[in-house]
A and B are shown apart, each in its own frame.
Chain A
């Protein structure tokens, strides 16, 4: 199909199964990789992607393209499910314990993306490497470990205002870097 992600969501809202399948084919792999990085368990990562796509099927009619692109909506849904689970596990295990590496199946070999995603991935990772260490670490902790800014301030022993400023600066730098070579 040669239509936008947004069109796929609109068609999904009308019950178009082929459009829904195409949406998964475009974004499911990315979503799974993201969930796996957060949860460090293939089984839990599958759960997160399943829950996200179930929500997408049920609520496609409420998607608002003015608020976010379809791609951002889908990926952030997957992240939200994964983070929910991580926080749940953290509460069970004790607040400051990071999630232990999970099932043996979580140590899956990285795979080559298709060419376009590989390029996007290289750009993003190159941009991340140019960030000051403190900013990159903070972003990764906030994004992949699911720590709130207050928790990060506590864990790192720095003021909340510093956490907010560094996160803001890091995202600002990324935005500039990623826009530059378009």
Chain B
């Protein structure tokens, strides 16, 4: 397991991307990438180059049957989760009646428990974990007061979630650029606000571990 903590060299990353490694070494790097932003960036750079190398192959049109086969895949293997509405306005609330990736929910709930603080029901400034920022809570409204984690990665946004015991996470809007100060309605004491990195179009359920959480006392 300790091998996961070593940053792979550039040529190890290339070997990883070219599927040259033995299973154990491959899994170690895979696991390390889950935890290390620096190596993920190096991996992304190398992946881009190696994907471009595909252009060294002469361009040949695939047979029509290939397209038909691929486009038939969704019919043969319907997703368990129905498609979410295509457009979501920012800050809109989306009541979730969809299946949620179990791991994400359990993990978010566990983090929420760690933050529980029953001592100060009157506190209105609510900090995020890891000094990521803070919320200002007035009545049942929570406004992002400060945010220190910078802009989301290109093509992505920060998605806000309201976590409440016994319920699926409620999507509460997207934050696309520094300086945005979204407002989340309908918060109650005991709720946890979580922030995850999601694709820019937003997700119906969290797909990544939160970058920050805040417990509404």
Instruction: For A6, give the chain B residue with the smallest CB separation.
Output: B155
Known contacts A32-B62, A65-B155, A65-B199; A14 and B204 CB within 8 A of each other: yes
Question: Would you call A49 and B70 a contact (CB within 8 A)?
Answer: yes
Q: Assess whether B96 is interfacial by the CB under 8 Å rule.
A: no
Tell me which of B10, B41, B61, B66 contacts A50 (CB under 8 A): B66
Q: Assess whether B156 is interfacial by the CB under 8 Å rule.
A: yes
Centre residue among A14, A17, A42, A112 by max chain B CB count within 10 A: A14
Question: Would you call B153 and A120 a contact (CB within 8 A)?
Answer: no
Q: Is the interface of A mostly helix, strand, loop or mixed?
A: helix
Which residues of A sit under 8 angstroms from B71, Cβ to Cβ? 17, 20-21, 24
Q: Mark A74-114, 1 if CB is under 8 A from B, else 0.
A: 01100110011000000000000000000000001111110
Tell me which of A33, A69, A125 contacts B44 (CB under 8 A): A69
Tell me which of B17, B59, B81, B84 contacts A111 (CB under 8 A): B59
Known contacts A36-B60, A167-B11; A68 and B47 CB within 8 A of each other: yes
Q: Assess whether A158 is interfacial by the CB under 8 Å rule.
A: no
Q: Mark B8-37, 1 if CB is under 8 A from A, else 0.
A: 001100110111100000000000010001
A171 to B48, CA, bound (A): 11
Which residues of chain A in 44-60 are interfacial with respect to chain B, using CB atoms and an 8 Å cutoff?
A: 45-46, 49-50, 53-54, 57-58
Question: Would you call A7 and B200 a contact (CB within 8 A)?
Answer: yes
Which residues of B sit under 8 angstroms from A71, Cβ to Cβ? 51
Tell me which of A11, A83, A171 contacts B14 (CB under 8 A): A171
Q: Assess whether B187 is interfacial by the CB under 8 Å rule.
A: no
Q: Assess whether B118 is interfacial by the CB under 8 Å rule.
A: no
Question: Would you call B48 and A69 a contact (CB within 8 A)?
Answer: yes
Known contacts A24-B70, A79-B54; A15 and B81 CB within 8 A of each other: yes
Q: Assess whether B138 is interfacial by the CB under 8 Å rule.
A: no
Q: Mark B57-77, 1 if CB is under 8 A from A, else 0.
A: 111111101110111011101
Q: Assess whether B40 is interfacial by the CB under 8 Å rule.
A: yes
Q: Assess whether A156 is interfacial by the CB under 8 Å rule.
A: no
Q: Assess whether B78 is interfacial by the CB under 8 Å rule.
A: yes
Which residues of chain A in 141-182 are interfacial with respect to chain B, using CB atoms and an 8 Å cutoff?
A: 142-144, 148-149, 164, 167-168, 171, 174-175, 178
Can you list 27 pairs linking A and B with CB atoms under 8 Å apart?
A3-B201, A6-B155, A7-B200, A15-B74, A15-B79, A16-B86, A24-B67, A28-B70, A54-B73, A66-B44, A67-B40, A67-B47, A68-B51, A72-B48, A73-B47, A76-B17, A83-B19, A84-B19, A109-B60, A110-B60, A120-B55, A143-B56, A144-B57, A148-B15, A148-B20, A168-B14, A178-B52
Apart from A61-B101, A66-B41, list 8 A-B contacts with CB within 8 A. A10-B203, A11-B86, A17-B75, A36-B57, A67-B40, A71-B51, A125-B56, A143-B56
